[in-house]
Every structure is written in C-alpha cells, then in structure tokens.
Chains A and B, each alone.
Chain A
Amino acid sequence: MTLFGKKIPIVFSLLIWFIVWEAIGQAKFSSIIPPFSGVIQAAITILPTEKFHTAAMISLRSFGIGMALAILAGIPLGILMARVQGVGRILGMWVNIFVSAPISALVPLLMAVVGIGETTVVVTVFLFAVFVIILDTQVGVVHADRSLVDMARAFGAKRHQIYTKVLILSALPEMLAGLRLGAIRGVKGVVIGQLLVAIIGVGELFELYSQHFLMEEFWALVVTVFLFAFAVSEAIAALERRVEYYASAR
C-alpha cells in the first residue's frame, strides 16, 4: 500500500481498520459492534481458559484430520485426472460442480449419514478442502512441461520416475496454491461444521457467545480464527514463494 507516495507496511492498513473499528464501537453505533479494545480484553480473558483450550484442541484435531484426508485423496486424484483421459472427463465435471457448490448446504445432510459429532466436522473440512486441491493438482500436472517428460523418457526414466522426479515437482507450484486455498476453506469448514451440526469445539463457543450476546468474546473468537487461517495460509505461501522462484523459468 502507498500513501502520499510513501510505502506503508501492510500492518498499518490493519491498524487503520482497528482505529475505525474502535471509533464505531465507542460511538455505540450498534450493540453487535463493541469497541476493538473491548475485544482485545475479551481475548486476553478467554484465550487462557480451559474451555477455550478444549474447544481449540477439538477444532484443530478435526481440521488436521480433515485436511490430511483431503490432501491424501485430492493429490492422487488430481494426478490421475490429469494423466488418464477417461478419469479426467468423468470426474472433471463433478469436481468443477463441487468446487463452486455451496457445500454448507450439504452439511446438515451429512448429519443424517455420519451422525452428530466430530466425524461430521472432519467430513465437512474434507469436503470444503478437497475439490480445490484436486482441481489445482490437475491443472499443475496438465500444464507440466511436455518436453521435460520427453526428456525423462529419452534418458530412460521408468514410469514411476516420471511421476516422482518430473511431474510432481513440475506441478508443485499449482499444488501448493491448491493446498493454500484448501486450508483456508478447511478453516471455514471446521467452523461451519461445528456450528451447523455438531455443537462442539470452537463452534460451540461461537454459539454460546452469540446466544448470550457476549459480543466482545464473540469478536475475539472471530479474530482468533481469522488469525489462525491467516497463519496457515501464510506458512504455505512462504513455501510457495520458494518454489515459485525455481518455477519462474518455466
């Protein structure tokens, strides 16, 4: 961001928002927008509590398991769709539908299938994350340099070597982009899953705070979840930048 011709670090943009937020809150414009300072105070109060820790652990576990499954299923499926024409044609349409479909609407249905509990949340995370991972992996492998594959074959690469030594590395930038988008959607998946069906973890806290109109606590939780999603996405983005550097010559 630049202001009056000077480059301003990105944190300052957040700072301006916080000031605006504080001002609106202090003006008592609406009871659902408490002052930002109040939110910070609430955060300091709730974050060390046992209740929050338990909720965070449950949510993290669901997120971790759901993401792991999404990666384990999404990447091989994406590669398969890129390499086997029939599979790509059959599954491609479905993946494209589901990547843009409102998965949240399906979540209550899941309840009927997998019941109410952590499993539902794991499945929700999985569904939120997996399609974009499949799609980006497929794009990455499809756009992998044809002549690198020819090169590997010319130098005697066996089938599995073409995958491990050329195709996957070649598709890594797109795969990481898919992973990053998948992780962000996964965070949404945890919260929505916990809110809609299984009243556990962070979702339970959201429910609790909003029902009792504890807006400071509610916003503190929103900011915490946002910061978590931001941190995960930045960690993957850092990895992406390292890979991008090598991939820039493609």
Chain B
Amino acid sequence: MPDDAIVEVEGIGKTYPGGVEALRNVNLAFPRGKLSTLLGPSGCGKTTLLKIIAGLIPHNAGEVRVNGKKIQGPGPERAFVFQDFALMPWATVLRNVAFGLELRGVPRAQREATARRYIAEAGLSGFEASHPNQLSGGMRQRVGLARALAVDADIILMDEPFSSVDEQTRRKFQEDLLDLLRHRRKTVIFVTHSIEEAAYLSDQIALLSPRPGTVSRIIRPNVDRGRSADEIRRDRNYLDTVDEIWQILKQYV
C-alpha cells in the first residue's frame, strides 16, 4: 500500500437483500492527489463500491477509511458527481451549484459568490439563472461537477460522469477535468467502463472482475500528462495500457 493513501478500502463485501453478492473482499488504496479509476464490465459492482466509499450504501463486511478514520456515512471531505447528474429541476444552476453549501447553512450571499466562481470555472458563466432542463447533457454534468467542487471536498467521487454525454463533449470534458486537477490537489475516484477513458485520465486503474466484484489487477499507467491531449492519445505507454487492460477484460466479456 502506498504511504499516502487518502482512502483505504479493506475487505469490503456487499450482498444485496435478495442474495446477490455484489462485492467480495475488496482491498484498495487510493493515493492522495491522484486520479484513480474503477474499471470493469457492467455488473462488477464498481458503482456499488463507489457508493460505499461515499457512505451512501451500507456494506456487509470490511471497512472504508478516509484519512485513516473509519467512515460512518457521507462526510464533508467527499463530494459526489452522479451519472444521471442529479440536479434539482426546480432550482436554477446557481442554486444547484450552491446546494451543498446551502445544506451546510452557509449564508446565501457567501454561498452564491462561491457558486458563481465555480460556475465560471466549469465554463457555464451566463447560465446561472437557467434551469437544468434548458441545458444540454454536457452542461448539466458541468453543473454537477461545479456543485462537487463548490463544497471544497478533498475527494471527488465520480460515477460514470460522462456516460450520458456525447463523444465530443466527453473529450472536451475529460481535458477540462485534467486541467482542473492539475491546478488543485484533488483526489478523484472515477468509475468508468471505458478503457480509453481510464487509460487517458488515470494515475491508477483498479480492474474489477464481475460476480462477485473483486479487484483483479491494479495498473499504474506511465503516461506523461504534461503534454497536450492529442499527444497523450498517441503516446506509446497510453496505447500499451489500453491494450493491456483489454487483454485482461476480454476474459470477462
């Protein structure tokens, strides 16, 4: 295990009521300030694992530690970006982004100022007063990301955030995400079923095998992220990583 793991998952098991075993004895460490991916075919329990780390669903065995402390439900050091965006349709972009702060009782003027800053950073200036149904899928997910950043959590948990977004938007979004992470030292735990996405974004990839979900391999792609997106996509190591992951995942499909 790396010395500076911000999130540690130890012996996690999860059986859903009804007897479906989603996860068995999952052990993982997520390094601080890095982007880690949970990758696997559908049904491998990767979203379940992410939601357990978030404290949203209870687990049957093992424990999750954040900064060395065992978690009991959700906490302010973790923020979540949802696959289906989970935006409140009755609220404006501004209120949606400020929602985490609203729940914490931050005064209105202060939380809206913070929200405006993150809305601008997510590239949504001018849409503060819009409602979610007036935005495209990509823009909605930017709102979801801005909301997660606004609460200033150290750890951002992302559940297939780009899966309901079209390909061009997805690429742009991935690049923006990498940019953003370079500037702040956030730890990101990212769930995806896209091999390319995992190899492109991650410092560490945990491959999960299905039924019951368990860690089958951990890969640390040696991709130099100091360069442009197009260079990364032509990089030897990047292509090798994609190939290596495919060789492993092939047997589960």
Contacts and interface: CB of A to CB of B under 8 A. Distances in A.
Contacts of B123: none
Contact of B56 (A150, A158, A165): A150
A248 B104 CA distance: 28
A147 B144 CA distance: 12
Interface in A231-250: 243, 246-250
B89 A154 contact: no
A72 interface: no
Nearest to B54: A154
Determine the interface band of chain B, counting residues with CB < 8 A from chain A: 20 to 34
Contacts of A157: 103
B245 to A, nearest CB: 28
A161 interface: yes
Main secondary structure of the interface of A (DSSP, over half): helix
Interface string A136-156: 000000000101101111111
B88 A148 contact: yes
B86 A246 contact: no
Nearest to B85: A147
A166 interface: yes
Interface residues of A, number: 24
A157 B55 CA distance: 13
A246 to B, nearest CB: 4
Contacts of A249: 89, 131-133
B76 A156 contact: yes
A156 B103 contact: yes
Nearest to A151: B86
A166 B78 CA distance: 20
Interface in A207-250: 243, 246-250
A169 interface: yes
Contact of A169 (B51, B55, B90, B133): B90
Contacts of B133: 246, 248-249
B206 interface: no
B84 interface: yes
A154 B103 contact: no
B86 A150 contact: yes
The 8 closest A-B pairs by CB, nearest first: A249-B133, A151-B86, A155-B100, A154-B80, A246-B90, A249-B89, A147-B86, A157-B103
24 contacts: A145-B86, A147-B82, A147-B86, A148-B86, A150-B80, A150-B82, A150-B86, A152-B103, A153-B56, A154-B54, A154-B79, A155-B74, A155-B80, A155-B99, A155-B147, A156-B76, A156-B100, A165-B99, A165-B102, A172-B90, A246-B89, A246-B90, A246-B131, A249-B133
